[in-house]
Amino acid sequence: MTADQWTLVDEYLEEKLVPADPVLAEVLRSSAAAGLPDIQVSPTQGKLLHLLAKTLGARRVLEIGTLGGYSTIWLARALPPDGKVVTLEFEPKHAEVARANLRRAGLQDRVELRLGTALETLPKLLAEKRGPFDLFFLDADKANTLAYFEWSLKLSRPGSLIVVDNVVRKGRLVEASSREPDVRGMRDFLDALVSDTRVSATGIQTVGRKGYDGFVLARVTEAPAGNVA
């Protein structure tokens, strides 16, 4: 099995299961034209986020790491008209491209994009009593994943789902002595997860057009102390 074959299979699954969408195609085109990195979720992963949001009956979604808004659009399209995605981004250029893309998708009223570092915005959301969120997508700087997870718990309710992207990083996750910040970040996150009685979690490896990676799904089982729910 080669990475080329993973991509071919992804393309086949996209053709079968993810209908061609001129808005999403234009979102990817405009993001690339603006020089944004090509690291958004794949189409089948975007649809997974969409299906999870639908299955949960999510009304409030919190995304950390917007980029050009590709995953944001998949999530926002799963919500009822009065639903809201709050998405956090600290690069002004990414935020500007995302805002244009969200307008293009007609979702500007269903998405609130907050510019700033996530660790500054998260306490503000709590102070504004913006939770509880039904679904979280943690997809920003990997080194801070544990902190984002802890903030997500504070903004959650029992039954909320926390999805964490890019946990496996080509298998580097198992390199216990790695000093790479993204690997350390994910290992610290998993160390905390295993001993956390407030969540029930699993990790899934993935291959496809984005190479070899994986994600964690964590379901909040019990209201943490200080929770907004």
206 binds Mg ion (CB under 5 A): no
Identity of residue 203 = G
Joined together, the tokens standing for residue 54 give: 């639908």
**What is the DSSP track for 1-65?**
--HHHHHHHHHHHHHHHS---HHHHHHHHHHHHTT--S-SPPHHHHHHHHHHHHHHT-SEEEEE-
Numbers of helices and strands, H then E, in the chain: 8, 7
139 binds Mg ion (CB under 5 A): yes
166 binds Mg ion (CB under 5 A): yes
CB of 205 to ligand DHB, least distance (A): 14
CB of 62 to ligand SAH, least distance (A): 12
CB of 138 to Mg ion, least distance (A): 9
CB of 211 to ligand DHB, least distance (A): 8
**153 in Cβ contact with 198 (< 8 Å):** yes
Taking CB under 6 A as the criterion, the residue among 10, 14, 134, 139 binding ligand SAH is: 139
89 binds Mg ion (CB under 5 A): no
Q: What radius of gyration, in Å, describes the C-alpha atoms of the chain?
A: 17
Taking CB under 6 A as the criterion, the residue among 141, 150, 188, 196 binding ligand SAH is: 141
Binding footprint of Mg ion on the chain (CB under 5 A): 139, 165-166
Binding footprint of ligand SAH on the chain (CB under 6 A): 39-41, 65-67, 70-71, 88-91, 94, 117-118, 139-141
